Chains A and B, each alone.
Chain A
Amino acid sequence: MANFGDHLRELGALDRLASMDSAIHRLDPRAKVLVTLFYILLVASFGRYEVSGLLPFALFPVIQGTLGEVPWGLVGKRVLMVLPFALVLGILNPFLDHSTVLIGSWSLSAGWLSFVSILLRFALCVGASVILIATTSMDGVCMALERLGLPRVFTIQIALLYRYVFVLLEETLRITRAREMRANGRPLVLAEYGSLAGSLFLRTWERARRVHIAMLSRGFEGEFHGARPPVFRLKDGVYLLGWGAVLILLRLVNLPHLLESLLKGVAS
Chain B
Amino acid sequence: MHMADALLSPAVGATMWALSAATLGRSATQVRRTMDEGRLPFMGVLGAFVFAIQMLNFAIPGTGSSGHLAGTLFLALLLGPHAAFLTVSSVLVVQALFFADGGLLALGCNIFNIGFFPAFVAYPFIVRPLLAGNPGQGRRAFGILLGAVLGLQFGAFGVVLETVISGRTALPFKAFLYAMQPIHLAIGLVEGLATLALVGFLARTRPELLETQPRSRSAWKGALVVAVMALVAGGCLSWFASQRPDGLEWALAKVGQHEAEAPVESLHGRFAQAQAQTALMPDYAFKSGGESRGATSLAGVGGGVLTLLIVGGVGIALRPRRKMA
Chain A residues with CB under 8 Å of chain B are 1, 3-4, 7, 10-11, 14, 22, 36-37, 40-41, 43-53, 55-56, 58-59, 62-63, 65-67, 69, 78-79, 81-82, 85-86, 89-90, 92-93, 96-97, 101-104, 108, 110-111, 113-114, 117-119, 121-122, 125-126, 129-130, 132-133, 138, 141, 145, 149-154, 156-165, 167-169, 171-172, 176, 187-202, 204-205, 207-209, 211-212, 215-216, 220-223, 251-252, 254-261, 263
Chain B: CB-nearest residue to A250? B307
Please name all residues of chain B whose beta carbon is closer than 8 Å to the beta carbon of A53 when the two chains form the complex.
Answer: 287, 297
Please name all residues of chain B whose beta carbon is closer than 8 Å to the beta carbon of A168 when the two chains form the complex.
Answer: 45, 48-49, 51-52
Chain B residues with CB under 8 Å of chain A are 2, 4-10, 13-14, 21, 24-25, 28-29, 31-32, 36-49, 51-53, 55-59, 61, 66, 69, 86-87, 89-91, 93-94, 96-101, 103-105, 163, 167-172, 193-194, 196-198, 200-202, 205-206, 209, 243-244, 281, 283-284, 287-289, 293-295, 297-300, 302-304, 306-308, 310-312, 314-315, 318-320
Please name all residues of chain A whose beta carbon is closer than 8 Å to the beta carbon of B168 when the two chains form the complex.
Answer: 48, 114, 117-118, 121
Chain B: CB-nearest residue to A152? B28
Interface contact B98-A133, CB-CB below 8 Å: yes
Please name all residues of chain A whose beta carbon is closer than 8 Å to the beta carbon of B69 when the two chains form the complex.
Answer: 197
Please name all residues of chain A whose beta carbon is closer than 8 Å to the beta carbon of B58 when the two chains form the complex.
Answer: 187-190, 192-193
Chain A: CB-nearest residue to B287? A47
Among the listed A81, A113, A211, A256, which residue makes an inter-chain contact with B307, where contact means beta carbons less than 8 Å apart?
Answer: A256
Interface contact A52-B201, CB-CB below 8 Å: no
Please name all residues of chain A whose beta carbon is closer than 8 Å to the beta carbon of B6 when the two chains form the complex.
Answer: 44, 86, 118-119, 121-122, 125
Most buried by B among A47, A111, A167, A251: A47
Interface contact A196-B56, CB-CB below 8 Å: yes
Interface contact B320-A67, CB-CB below 8 Å: yes
Please name all residues of chain A whose beta carbon is closer than 8 Å to the beta carbon of B304 when the two chains form the complex.
Answer: 51-52, 55, 256
**Also in contact, A93 and B169, with CB within 8 A (given A67-B318, A160-B41):** yes
Bound together, the chains give a CA A53 to CA B58 distance in angstroms of 44
**Also in contact, A161 and B48, with CB within 8 A (given A86-B6, A190-B194, A198-B202):** yes
Interface contact B104-A150, CB-CB below 8 Å: no
Chain A: CB-nearest residue to B2? A85
Interface contact A36-B104, CB-CB below 8 Å: yes
Most buried by A among B49, B91, B194: B49
Please name all residues of chain B whose beta carbon is closer than 8 Å to the beta carbon of A205 when the two chains form the complex.
Answer: 206, 209
Cross-chain pairs A/B with CB under 8 angstroms, 10 sampled: A14-B98, A63-B314, A150-B24, A157-B44, A165-B47, A169-B52, A194-B196, A194-B200, A198-B197, A204-B46
Among the listed A103, A149, A162, A194, which residue makes an inter-chain contact with B295, where contact means beta carbons less than 8 Å apart?
Answer: A103
Please name all residues of chain A whose beta carbon is closer than 8 Å to the beta carbon of B289 when the two chains form the complex.
Answer: 47
Interface contact A165-B37, CB-CB below 8 Å: no
Min CB distance B91 to A, Å, is 7
Min CB distance B17 to A, Å, is 9
**Also in contact, A44 and B31, with CB within 8 A (given A164-B44, A188-B58, A259-B306):** no
Interface contact A37-B105, CB-CB below 8 Å: yes
Min CB distance A20 to B, Å, is 12
**Also in contact, A263 and B299, with CB within 8 A (given A48-B288, A204-B45):** no
Please name all residues of chain A whose beta carbon is closer than 8 Å to the beta carbon of B311 when the two chains form the complex.
Answer: 55-56, 58-59, 62
Interface contact A89-B287, CB-CB below 8 Å: no
**Also in contact, A50 and B287, with CB within 8 A (given A41-B105, A163-B44, A194-B198):** yes
- Give 8 new A-B contacts, CB below 8 A, not counting A81-B100, A110-B293, A220-B41: A101-B294, A104-B300, A161-B87, A165-B52, A197-B197, A212-B41, A256-B306, A257-B303
Bound together, the chains give a CA A66 to CA B311 distance in angstroms of 12
Interface contact B38-A40, CB-CB below 8 Å: no
Bound together, the chains give a CA A216 to CA B69 distance in angstroms of 31
Among the listed A44, A79, A132, which residue makes an inter-chain contact with B97, where contact means beta carbons less than 8 Å apart?
Answer: A132
Interface contact A37-B287, CB-CB below 8 Å: no
